[in-house]
Structure 1
Amino acid sequence: MATVLERPETQVSDAHPHKGRPRGFCTETALAAALRVFWTKGYEGASITELTEAMGITRPSMYAAFGNKESLFRHALDLYEREKLDYVRAALAAPTAKGVVERMLRGGVANQTSDCAAKGCLGVISGNACGDDAQAIREEVIARRASSHAAMVDRFARAQAEGDFGPELSPDDLINYLFAVMQGLAVQAGAGATREQLDRTVDLALMTWPTA
């Protein structure tokens, strides 16, 4: 899962750097198409040809608008976090730790079973598949996960202080368990599990979630 913290967005200019006039395509639409390719195939699995064909632009236009493939992926990851992981920020506002967990799990299931053809977690797909040539991407994904984890630790530490669960439990361990369940749900969704099946898994996870 990627970060839940706000970050400055990488700016994409709409002006062509050589001709000094607007480009003949919508950068947001093209970026959404690139996101779908990355989300389906992962960073290494997505070729430049597949990306530009999906985006409906030429290679020179892609390089002019987004930079190289690595830069394009970072733009796509920003879009993924803004549009696909907005439920995470909403979850952190829940009044209890169990409420946070339920919003996270229900939001994740809703995201995985949406009309979007791509399934699974973009960060997991791209981070786990990266070889030596894409080490910078793997490090980027790991850094964003660490940011997400830190935000969850802060929230669960406050929940423990407020008495949501006992002092014998580690907020860090509970968060690792939550992320493991979420990643498992993403894998199952990618393998074709229905929303009803995933919802039942969430129900079981919530039944076993510790409370004071």
Structure 2
Amino acid sequence: MVMGRPREFDTVKALDKAVELFWEKGYEGTSLTDLTKAIGVNKPSLYAAFGSKEQLFLKALDRYHERIRLFAAHLLTLPSARDSIEAFLCALATFQSAPGTPHGCLLVQGALAASDESRRVREILCEIRELGVEVLRRFLQRAHDQGELPPGINLVTLARYFVTLYQGISVQAAGGVPTEELHNIISIAMGCWPENHS
């Protein structure tokens, strides 16, 4: 073996380990030592594979977001918009409270409070959360156009309501609230669904 050459490793498995660490500890709570120990490589190898800690975090975010899409995104295709939203939220609650993984949501808890050095990470997470509002707004717009929502309803506010519910659920999940109770909370919240009676 040539001295000084970075040790090769499985970058997919390494990225999954990074996701778990950032998910559990947040961006600032996860040190480079935590990452190298969990992945089983030295710092030069980590830098060679992923760049800086911030670059690794952004790659981990993409990986985490892909997990969410695979787990829940298909539920936004049910015939009823209301049923779609409820099923989607329940799937996310299950994902965030499942045994064997950290609880809560990396997108919500990753950098809620951060130092000036981590401002860019915090801003990126805010942008991702705002993108979630826009994705739901477009979904609700289709439901509105198909007559599932009453005329004149503020779709941005309704989308933000469901995103706020999702974020609150993630905080409750991080605090150890069981999945069944999270689903019950969602069921109560869905009572606010605006029916079109026209």
Q: Give the Å deviation of 1:211.
A: 1.9
Unaligned runs of 5+ in 2: none
Cα separation, 1, equivalents of 2:62 and 2:46 = 17
Which residue is equivalent to 1:203? Answer: 187
Of 36-45 and 80-89, the range deviating more from structure 2: 80-89
Counterpart among 134, 140, 145 of residue 124 in structure 2: 140
Q: Give the Å deviation of 1:183.
A: 1.1
Residues 125 and 119 (structure 1 numbering): CA distance in 2 closer, same or farther, change over 3 Å? same
Which residue is equivalent to 2:70? Answer: 86
In 1, are the aligned partners of 2:132 and 2:163 still within 8 Å (CA)?
no
Residues 58 and 108 (structure 1 numbering): CA distance in 2 closer, same or farther, change over 3 Å? same
Q: Given the alignment of the two structures, is residue 162 of structure 1 paired with residue 142 of structure 2, yes or no?
A: no
Counterpart among 129, 147, 150 of residue 113 in structure 2: 129
Which residue is equivalent to 2:31? Answer: 47
In 2, are the aligned partners of 1:185 and 1:198 still within 8 Å (CA)?
yes
Alignment of structure 1 residues 156-195 onto 2, 5 Å: 156-195=140-179
Higher relative contact order (CA 8 A, sep 6+): 1
More helix by share: 2
Q: Given the alignment of the two structures, is residue 65 of structure 1 paired with residue 52 of structure 2, yes or no?
A: no
The two structures, once aligned, show a CA RMSD in angstroms of 2.1
In 1, are the aligned partners of 2:96 and 2:170 still within 8 Å (CA)?
yes
Cα separation, 2, equivalents of 1:148 and 1:208 = 20
Opposite residue 157 of structure 1, the aligned amino acid is: Q
Of 191-200 and 201-210, the range deviating more from structure 2: 201-210
Opposite residue 180 of structure 1, the aligned amino acid is: T
Q: Give the Å deviation of 1:155.
A: 1.3
Q: TM-score, normalised by structure 2?
A: 0.90
Deviations 1:146-167 (A, max 9, x none): 3222222111111111111111
Of 52-61 and 81-90, the range deviating more from structure 2: 81-90
Q: TM-score, normalised by structure 1?
A: 0.84
Q: Given the alignment of the two structures, is residue 27 of structure 1 paired with residue 11 of structure 2, yes or no?
A: yes
Count of aligned pairs: 194
Opposite residue 178 of structure 1, the aligned amino acid is: F
Unaligned runs of 5+ in 1: 1-17
Opposite residue 44 of structure 2, the aligned amino acid is: P
